[in-house]
Amino acid sequence: MSPHDFAYLAGLLKQRSGLILTADKEYLLESRLRPLIRSRGLTDFREFVNALRTGDRALIDDVVEAMTTNETSFFRDIKPFQLVRSFVLPALLAARADTRQLRIWCAACSTGQEPYSLAMVLDDERVRLEGWTWQIVATDIAPSVLAKARNGLYSQFEVQRGLPTPMLLKHFTKSGDSWQLKEEMRRKVMFRTVNLLDDLRGLGRFDLIFLRNVLIYFDPPTKSVILEKVSRQLATDGFLFLGGAETVIGVTQAFEPVPDQRGIYRPTGTTPTFAVASQPARPGLAGVRA
């Protein structure tokens, strides 16, 4: 690939998705786009770039989709899901006692394991949530991962990464070599294609937002723009979860970390939830177990 073509592709990618591609990632670009080039009956990157330059929308979307990293797992990192149960839910149950409604947003949900994990946590809290309505909206830029998410069909390998076996038994049926999340759980999550660079206001306000392991792919200005837009979709007393390698510090003033709760952020100036006694940590996923 010529430096010229690389620069064009990197620029396109950044503009359309925010994803940053440094020169050392040329191999990644090559290996991920080659199948696309072939499937279009084109011969090389020069022809491919020319096709993109004509403004072929579908092809541009395919490039973005091919370049996203969709790595995810059920209950990824475990701790955030324990904290939802032990720290966030008690706070929100108190704060929303009048409306008895909760809205949750998974903002880069990939193949669905993250929003479904949250749905399983809330399902476990059925008793405390009696009489409440809750909704999980899960979005991603890539339609293909969302299609898989909607199906809720996972390989044996995928269901063994993070998912406690009691939850597998409770919420899945076996289908050939794969496992499918039961219809009643799939119904609890609404999937939509949303690019975080676009206008997010149509999504409405949320009480809890998971924005995990996606900011790492963006440059600092893009991170702060997205975090500021996301902050406008979060209730002023809501909660934001970022991935383990992500932070708001030095990126935006819109959020501040919750002291002693790694990975949780709140809109700046939120009154501390001193009334909420965090439940003691338990080993493993005991806290979110079926």
Ligand X SMILES: C[S@@+](CC[C@H](N)C(=O)[O-])C[C@H]1O[C@@H](n2cnc3c(N)ncnc32)[C@H](O)[C@@H]1O
Contact call for residue 283 and another protein (CB under 8 A) = yes
Contact call for residue 162 and another protein (CB under 8 A) = yes
CA-nearest of 163, 211, 208, 154 to 186 is: 154
* For another protein, the closer CB: 174 or 205: 174
CB atoms within 10 A of CB 156: 10
Binding mask 77-106 for another protein (x = CB under 8 A): -x----------------------------
The tokens for 30 are 């090559």
Contact call for residue 124 and another protein (CB under 8 A) = no
At closest approach, how far in Å is the CB of 76 from another protein? 10
Contact call for residue 18 and ligand X (CB under 6 A) = yes
CB atoms within 10 A of CB 230: 22
Strands (E) across the chain are located at 101-106, 133-140, 153-155, 172-175, 178-181, 189-193, 206-211, 234-242, 255-257, 264-267
Contact call for residue 78 and ligand X (CB under 6 A) = no
Contact call for residue 166 and another protein (CB under 8 A) = yes
At closest approach, how far in Å is the CB of 107 from another protein? 24
Binding mask 186-225 for ligand X (x = CB under 6 A): ---------xxx--------------xxx-----------
Sign of CA pseudo-dihedral 190, 193, 198, 199:
negative
DSSP assignment of 177-237, as one string? TEEEE-HHHHTTEEEEE--TTS--GGG--EEEEEE-SSGGGS-HHHHHHHHHHHHHTEEEE
Binding interface with another protein (CB under 8 A): 78, 156-157, 160-162, 164-166, 168-169, 174, 282-286
Binding interface with ligand X (CB under 6 A): 17-19, 68-72, 76, 108-110, 114, 140-142, 145, 195-197, 212-214, 243
